[in-house]
């Protein structure tokens, strides 16, 4: 695809996106921005949540990763589904009962102001870094397809990308996101299904022949029970997936904003269960696409650089989708899928960051509606600027391996949040609130030491995403040490 075709595709998608955002959010007040006025239909939110869980990283990386990991990622996705059930039946009723705008308000009610601010700041760091990393990958792809051919600098790429995200979330917040995420889900699923169809057709495979070819491929192995030191070991992946889902969805303002927009907690539970099961099948489609991409690339000799290690597997899908062997529609579908997944994920992160920083860090209690609107708009712009700066810093570091560190990063930053909520729900005792930030900082530090020395200390065992569980456990134990008598000051 030439740069002009890519730009026309992006412009068309955004024209539709802005129209949907305007219609959905044109009458949104502060409650509409933060929680969608709690009037969203559960089935609409469930459909939107399928797409909101798929970022640009997933869209690009999952098909490419089958060469190394096979279908082992589905083990983690099974953990995601289990985590969704726990969120639906433990956290959702709690948050609705407390009528929360920001889920971190729970920490203030349970522990005190220091714990509340600790949860909010850990979320802020987690979401800002995670969102910037994901958008960074998209900027790299756009630089390759559009900005480099037109001799335009990376910084302009970032400015345009972040500005577009800021614009379509400016007015409606969550109220807009529900509908733009629904558009994203539709575009995402249609693009992947049609890419599978075109690639299978080019390989002269019927539906049955395609399923057989994928099943018989060495790249489609799903379960790994034989080697505990393998990062793909089933129980590592499953439990890491379950706790990652609880932390990155159930305890994440970004994702829970959508769930809190449902009419009641029972509708929110229906949404969580439906979207969780649906996510499994969407990820399965991405992995099936990955096998077909490697079959196609092998037939036409397009992946020699990947095989030799000179090119990242993240570039397999972009390379083949925009290849001249295919009709132009395949490249267009790839761009639509990439843009819809990446920009929507960034938009939801920007809205959540705005909500959390405005409500949790700056505080809006006893402020007039118009004052909150002015504050919210300034914060929204500030979050966009910070996100752009972080993306530029990633590019200066020139280390694309940070993409692979998204879940590892989550293990360090979401672990203390998971530990705080777990203690708050299961241990009904007060703690010395002023020392909670110290525990939250020490826990990731202990995890870092363990990760650096695990092979030497534990007979070759290497920690992976299960660091999240350890991090939460350290936080939980630390809070146990801070328990005080109810009669104490």
Which tokens in the block code for residue 421? 């909520």
At 479 the pLDDT is 93
Burial class (CB in 10 A: 0-12, 13-18, 19+), 284: middle
- Give the best-scoring range by mean pLDDT among 122-136, 350-364, 438-452: 438-452
In whole angstroms, what is the distance from residue 300 CA to residue 2 CA?
21
At 443 the pLDDT is 92
Query: Nearest CA to 36 among 309, 378, 267?
Result: 267
Number of residues in the chain: 489
Are the beta carbons of 102 and 356 closer than 8 angstroms?
A: yes
Model confidence band, residue 475 (pLDDT cutoffs 50, 70, 90): very high
Average pLDDT over residues 41-67: 70
Average pLDDT over residues 473-482: 93
In whole angstroms, what is the distance from residue 167 CA to residue 257 CA?
19
Q: Which domains does the chain have, with CATH numbers?
A: 3-406 (1.20.1730.10)
Is residue 461 over pLDDT 70?
yes
At 41 the pLDDT is 66
Model confidence band, residue 437 (pLDDT cutoffs 50, 70, 90): very high
Average pLDDT over residues 314-330: 68
Higher-pLDDT residue of 375 and 184 is 375
Which tokens in the block code for residue 374? 């002015």
Are the beta carbons of 291 and 214 closer than 8 angstroms?
A: yes
At 64 the pLDDT is 77
In whole angstroms, what is the distance from residue 193 CA to residue 382 CA?
38
Is residue 438 over pLDDT 90?
yes
Model confidence band, residue 400 (pLDDT cutoffs 50, 70, 90): very low
Average pLDDT over residues 354-381: 77
> Which residues have CB under 8 Å from 209's CB, separation 6+?
none
Average pLDDT over residues 112-137: 83
Average pLDDT over residues 148-171: 83
Q: For the chain, what is the mean pLDDT?
A: 78
Is residue 94 over pLDDT 90?
no
The alpha-helical segments, DSSP class H, found in 87-112 are: 92-97, 105-110
Which tokens in the block code for residue 410? 């989550």
Q: Per-residue pLDDT tens for 200-234?
A: 888 888 989 999 999 888 888 888 888 887 778 88
Q: Per-residue pLDDT tens for 369-388?
A: 777 778 878 888 888 899 89
> Which residues have CB under 8 Å from 208's CB, separation 6+?
none
pTM above the 0.75 mark? no
What is the three-class DSSP state of 262?
strand
**DSSP 8-state assignment for residue 223:** -
Is residue 56 over pLDDT 90?
no
Give all strands (DSSP E) within 243-316, no chain letters: none
% the chain with pLDDT above 70: 76
Is residue 60 over pLDDT 50?
yes
Average pLDDT over residues 265-275: 83
Q: Per-residue pLDDT tens for 7-19?
A: 888 788 777 777 7
> Which residues have CB under 8 Å from 139's CB, separation 6+?
154, 157, 158, 161, 391, 395
Is residue 122 over pLDDT 70?
yes
Is residue 171 over pLDDT 60?
no
Model confidence band, residue 145 (pLDDT cutoffs 50, 70, 90): confident
At 282 the pLDDT is 85
At 404 the pLDDT is 57
Average pLDDT over residues 429-443: 92
Higher-pLDDT residue of 312 and 194 is 194
- Give the best-scoring range by mean pLDDT among 172-176, 291-295, 363-367, 418-422: 418-422
């Amino acid at each position: 695809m030439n740069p002009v075709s890519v730009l026309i595709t992006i412009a068309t998608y955004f024209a539709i996106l802005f129209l949907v955002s305007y219609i959905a959010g044109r009458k949104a007040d502060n409650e509409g921005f933060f929680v969608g006025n709690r009037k969203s239909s559960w089935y609409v939110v469930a459909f939107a949540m399928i797409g909101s869980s798929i970022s640009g990283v997933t869209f690009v990386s999952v098909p490419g990763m089958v060469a190394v990991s096979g279908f082992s990622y589905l083990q983690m996705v099974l953990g995601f589904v289990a985590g969704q059930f726990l969120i639906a039946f433990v956290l959702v009723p709690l948050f609705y009962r407390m009528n929360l705008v920001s889920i971190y308000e729970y920490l203030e009610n349970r522990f005190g102001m220091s714990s509340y601010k600790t949860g909010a700041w850990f979320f802020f760091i987690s979401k800002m870094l995670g969102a910037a990393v994901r958008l960074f990958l998209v900027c790299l792809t756009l630089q390759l397809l559009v900005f480099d051919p037109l001799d335009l600098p990376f910084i302009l790429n970032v400015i345009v990308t972040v500005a577009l995200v800021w614009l379509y979330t400016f007015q409606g917040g969550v109220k807009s996101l529900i509908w733009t995420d629904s558009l994203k889900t539709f575009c995402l699923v249609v693009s992947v299904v049609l890419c599978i169809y075109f690639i299978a057709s080019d390989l002269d495979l019927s539906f049955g022949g395609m399923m057989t070819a994928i099943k018989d491929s060495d790249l489609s192995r799903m379960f790994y029970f034989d080697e505990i030191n393998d990062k793909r070991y089933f129980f590592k992946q499953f439990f890491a997936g379950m706790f990652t889902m609880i932390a990155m969805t159930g305890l994440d303002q970004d994702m829970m904003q959508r769930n809190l927009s449902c009419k009641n907690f029972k509708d929110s539970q229906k949404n969580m269960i439906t979207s969780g099961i649906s996510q499994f099948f969407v990820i399965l489609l991405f992995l099936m696409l990955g096998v077909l991409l490697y079959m196609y690339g092998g037939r036409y000799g397009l992946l020699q650089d990947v095989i030799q290690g000179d090119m990242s597997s993240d570039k397999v899908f972009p390379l083949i989708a925009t290849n001249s062997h295919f009709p132009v529609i395949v490249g267009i579908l790839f761009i639509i899928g990439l843009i819809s997944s990446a920009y929507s994920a960034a938009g939801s992160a920007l809205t959540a960051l705005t909500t959390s920083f405005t409500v949790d860090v700056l505080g809006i209690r006893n402020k007039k509606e118009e004052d909150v609107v002015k504050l919210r708009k300034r914060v929204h712009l500030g979050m966009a600027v910070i996100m752009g700066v972080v993306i530029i810093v990633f590019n200066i570091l020139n280390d694309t391996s940070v993409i692979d560190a998204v879940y590892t990063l989550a293990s360090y930053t979401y672990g203390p949040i998971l530990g705080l909520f777990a203690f708050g729900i299961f241990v009904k005792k007060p703690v010395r609130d002023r020392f909670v930030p110290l525990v939250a900082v020490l826990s990731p530090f202990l995890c870092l030491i363990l990760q650096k020395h695990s092979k030497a200390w534990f007979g070759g065992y290497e920690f992976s995403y299960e660091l999240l569980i350890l991090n939460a456990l350290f936080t939980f134990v630390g809070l146990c040490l801070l328990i005080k008598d109810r009669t104490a000051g």
